[in-house]
């Protein structure tokens, strides 16, 4: 927790005329009211209001907002009262604290009718004084940063509420940085596997491609210098949730995503913004359909910027935002820029919007207390700019990702409707099935008996539900053909293993492999979703184990009687890999993997090369291999990783910490294995572990024999 002096200093950095005495009084009052209260983490409760106040200083907000943050839980959670806060700190601060208290008590994740009413109350509180929601957003951000101390079910509830309500609201208010962090923190709770998968791929990408952000930033700066334009260039990789959402919307693998990096160019005047745009487009080819000019047509929350996407270095798509420094202040703070202070004076930013006018654009036209559904729908249409809400002929609202088509709409209603869809009407007009839907459109699906999904539909739809249903329908049509092929493949595999292919054997194998029945097993084998060899191995694992034990001292063929053998430390070859021996005077023969970089040193010494191969049979688990792991810095993770390796009959002979970060540890593990298949089993198990961000076999060409 930061100290009282530090908080005062943070405020005085941007507002030298702040009321230091009142801030200190609020600190002492809040600390006294919360004395004896503790958070789920065990910390004193007052650490939370202080952290919320510190967050709000980053937006350079006024004294009243900072003091409200220090007191925001006093009326709700302590013996403090509205009248006492008003007497000590004034009516304005008491009203703000009371407003935050009422927001805290709203159950925004309740049923739709109740949710509509509570969101209405939230917006009414915002319309009275928008600083109430600024404190509440900072409160939610700190709670999400420290959510790990809550019960799992409470974490999920808070994360879902944050993703559905608070993150979109922060974005709608122009506070994009807060929206991104709230989404990412919620994503970490709601779908940790997907988030860790994206982080693993980022680590791999950075290892393979190096510091792409630095190189592209240097390219942009060089181009601006050539044009004589003064500007600052900032670049970053996009947040995991932003990338995952784009992957879901476009149904693309990570490797096919191009614009995963974003860059900002900040200059001094609007004229220079357009000069920057000209310089960028003159140097790199603009991507059609990816240009937006929010300087000439600002958003209602005051946001101004030019957005463009170009094909940059190595053909990578690069998203660029161009704005002035004043525009950037509003882009960072959004509607909150209205209260920003600098040198003790309210910041006169010409682009900061009047909060009262902004909130009216969100709520105008919905004064009836009875029209909850329409109100909720209107608010969601306003806040969820990345989603599309369309209407069925009966008036039902169907929520879809942006870019969705009538086919996605059909499958969202029911799989049967989607499978039999032949055409669609949008707002009464017949349209192609690949038409992209827009907010508020009415969609009517036309079906026909006997219609079946077409393979081309996979490329039309964007939702996972529709794609899954189409693939399942197509697979069912091919099931009979795949079943005949699978039966023949299984017959050959069972004959090779010396076993009979019987209905009972297939039923048992299906059960062992978690497949519904023998018919489905045949179809999956025929469709190459599972190998016939794997089916045999599931039933008769002893077939692959009934092999002679191999002596670890001489596990390879090709050595002379008097030659000793050892594995090269650079590539650490394993049984099952192709190997080459290199003779060393006094050291015997050292085995390298066929693709080891060290072999290049011996290209002009063919007399030292020996053709080696691993002996057939069962090798003992004595062959050390080094693994590089990146794991999340959470309690119990290292123990789970070690237990997982032990469960796969592998022994850890050495462990070293290479790097320690607040979120991740990077480790080097020495693991003793039987061979390359054993290595693949261990790697697969580790990759499936949620807390493992990356795992890879380490091969160091600098370690010469």
Express each pLDDT in 27-56 by its tens digit: 999 999 999 999 888 899 999 999 999 999
**3 state DSSP class of 295:** coil
Which phi and psi angles does 701 have, rounded to 5°?
Answer: -70, -10
**Based on the number of CB atoms within 10 Å of its own CB, is 647 exposed (0-12), middle (13-18) or buried (19 or more)?**
exposed
Q: Is residue 403 over pLDDT 90?
A: no
Q: What is the pLDDT of residue 343?
A: 60
Contacts with 311 (C-beta within 8 Å, 6 or more apart), sequence order: 284, 285, 287, 317, 318
DSSP 332: H
**Based on the number of CB atoms within 10 Å of its own CB, is 329 exposed (0-12), middle (13-18) or buried (19 or more)?**
buried
53 vs 127, which has greater pLDDT?
A: 53
Q: What is the pLDDT of residue 417?
A: 93
What is the Cα–Cα distance from 674 to 574, expressed in whole angstroms? Answer: 8
Q: What is the pLDDT of residue 378?
A: 46
Q: Is residue 360 over pLDDT 70?
A: no
- Indicate which residues carry an active-site annotation: 76-77
Q: Is residue 298 over pLDDT 50?
A: yes
Q: What is the pLDDT of residue 70?
A: 94
**Cα dist from 328 to 169, 266, 299, 310, 445, whole Å:** 19, 7, 14, 21, 45
User: 559 with 659: CB under 8 angstroms?
Assistant: no
Confidence band of 705 (pLDDT split at 50, 70, 90)? confident
Confidence band of 182 (pLDDT split at 50, 70, 90)? very high
Q: Is residue 377 over pLDDT 50?
A: no
Q: What's the whole-number mean pLDDT along residues 295-302?
A: 78
Q: Is residue 256 over pLDDT 60?
A: no
Q: Which of 367-371, 533-537, 682-686, 693-697 has the lowest mean pLDDT?
A: 367-371
What is the Cα–Cα distance from 693 to 659, expressed in whole angstroms? Answer: 14
Q: What is the pLDDT of residue 189?
A: 92
pTM, two decimal places? 0.52
Q: Is residue 365 over pLDDT 50?
A: no
Crossing angle of the two packed helices 112-128 and 131-145, in degrees rounded to 10: 120
What is the overall mean pLDDT for the chain? 82
**Based on the number of CB atoms within 10 Å of its own CB, is 702 exposed (0-12), middle (13-18) or buried (19 or more)?**
exposed
Q: What is the pLDDT of residue 367?
A: 46
Q: What is the pLDDT of residues 573-611, one digit of tens each?
A: 999 888 999 988 776 899 999 888 888 888 888 888 888
Q: Which of 70-84, 113-127, 463-477 has the lowest mean pLDDT?
A: 113-127
611 vs 246, which has greater pLDDT?
A: 611
Domains of the chain: 4-190 (1.10.3210.10), 194-346 (3.30.460.10), 386-462 (3.10.20.30), 470-544 (no CATH), 556-614 (no CATH), 623-697 (3.30.70.260)
Q: What is the pLDDT of residue 352?
A: 73
Which phi and psi angles does 653 have, rounded to 5°?
Answer: -100, -15
Q: What is the pLDDT of residue 130?
A: 79
What is the Cα–Cα distance from 683 to 694, expressed in whole angstroms? Answer: 10
Q: Which of 95-104, 348-357, 368-377 has the highest mean pLDDT?
A: 95-104
């Amino acid at each position: 927790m930061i100290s009282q002096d530090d908080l005062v200093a943070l405020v005085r950095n941007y507002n030298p005329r702040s009321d230091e005495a009142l801030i200190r009084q609020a600190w002492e009052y809040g600390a006294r009211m919360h004395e004896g209260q503790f958070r789920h983490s065990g910390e004193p409760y007052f650490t939370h209001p202080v952290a919320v106040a510190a967050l709000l200083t980053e937006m350079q907000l006024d004294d009243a907002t900072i003091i409200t943050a220090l007191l925001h839980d006093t009326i709700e959670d302590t013996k403090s009262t509205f009248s006492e806060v008003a007497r000590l700190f004034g009516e304005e601060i008491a009203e703000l604290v009371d407003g935050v208290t009422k927001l805290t008590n709203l159950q925004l994740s309740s049923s739709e009718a109740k949710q509509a009413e509570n969101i209405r109350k939230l917006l009414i509180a915002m319309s009275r004084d928008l600083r109430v929601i600024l404190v509440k957003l900072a409160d939610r951000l700190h709670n999400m940063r420290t959510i790990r101390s809550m019960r799992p079910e409470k974490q999920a509830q808070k994360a879902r509420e944050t993703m559905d309500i608070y993150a979109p609201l922060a974005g709608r208010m122009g506070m994009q940085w807060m929206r991104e962090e709230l989404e990412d923190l919620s994503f970490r709770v709601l779908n940790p596997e997907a988030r860790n998968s994206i982080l693993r791929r980022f680590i791999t990408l950075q290892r393979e491609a190096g510091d792409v952000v630095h190189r592209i930033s240097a390219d942009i700066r060089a181009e601006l210098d050539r044009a004589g334009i003064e500007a600052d260039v900032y670049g970053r990789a996009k947040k995991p949730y932003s990338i995952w959402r784009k992957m879901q919307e476009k149904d693309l693998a990570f490797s096919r995503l191009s614009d995963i990096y974003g860059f900002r160019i900040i200059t001094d005047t609007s004229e220079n913004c357009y000069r920057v745009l000209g310089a960028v487009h003159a140097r790199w080819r603009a991507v059609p359909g990816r240009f937006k000019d929010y300087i000439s047509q600002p958003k209602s929350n005051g946001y101004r910027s030019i957005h463009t996407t170009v094909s940059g270095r190595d053909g990578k798509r690069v998203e660029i935002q161009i704005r002035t420094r004043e525009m950037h202040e509003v882009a960072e703070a959004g509607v909150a820029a209205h209260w920003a202070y600098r040198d003790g004076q309210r910041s006169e930013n010409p682009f900061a919007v009047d909060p009262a006018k902004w909130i009216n654009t969100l709520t105008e036209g919905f004064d009836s207390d009875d029209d909850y559904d329409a109100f909720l729908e209107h608010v969601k249409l306003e806040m969820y700019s990345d989603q599309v809400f369309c209407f069925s002929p009966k008036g039902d609202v169907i929520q879809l990702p942006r870019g969705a088509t009538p086919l996605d709409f059909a499958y969202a209603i029911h799989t049967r409707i989607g499978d039999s869809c032949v055409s669609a009407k949008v707002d009464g007009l017949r349209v192609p099935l690949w038409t992209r839907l827009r907010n508020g459109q009415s969609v009517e699906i036309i079906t026909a008996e006997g219609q079946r999904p077409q393979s081309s539909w996979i490329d039309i739809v964007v939702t996972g539900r529709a794609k899954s249903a189409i693939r399942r329908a197509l697979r069912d049509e091919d099931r009979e053909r795949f079943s005949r092929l699978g039966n023949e493949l299984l017959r050959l595999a069972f004959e090779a293993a010396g076993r009979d292919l019987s209905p009972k054997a297939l039923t048992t194998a299906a059960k062992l492999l978690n497949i519904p029945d023998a018919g489905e097993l045949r179809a999956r084998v025929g469709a190459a979703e599972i190998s016939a060899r794997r089916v045999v191995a599931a039933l008769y694992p002893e077939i692959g184990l009934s092999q002679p034990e191999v002596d670890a001292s001489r596990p390879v063929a090709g050595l002379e009687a008097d030659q000793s053998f050892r594995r090269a430390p650079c590539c650490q070859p394993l049984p099952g890999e192709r190997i080459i021996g290199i003779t060393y005077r006094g050291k015997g023969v050292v085995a390298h993997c066929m693709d080891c970089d060290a072999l290049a040193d011996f290209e002009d010494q063919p007399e030292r090369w020996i053709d080696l191969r691993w002996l057939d049979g069962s090798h003992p688990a004595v062959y050390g291999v080094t693994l590089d792991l990146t794991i999340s810095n959470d309690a119990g993770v290292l123990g789970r990783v070690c237990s997982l390796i032990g469960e796969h009959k592998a022994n850890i002979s050495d462990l070293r910490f290479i790097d320690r970060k607040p979120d991740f540890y990077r480790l080097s593990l020495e693991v003793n294995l039987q061979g390359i298949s054993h290595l693949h089993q261990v790697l697969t198990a580790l990759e499936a572990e949620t807390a493992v961000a990356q795992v890879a076999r380490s091969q160091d060409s600098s370690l010469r024999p």
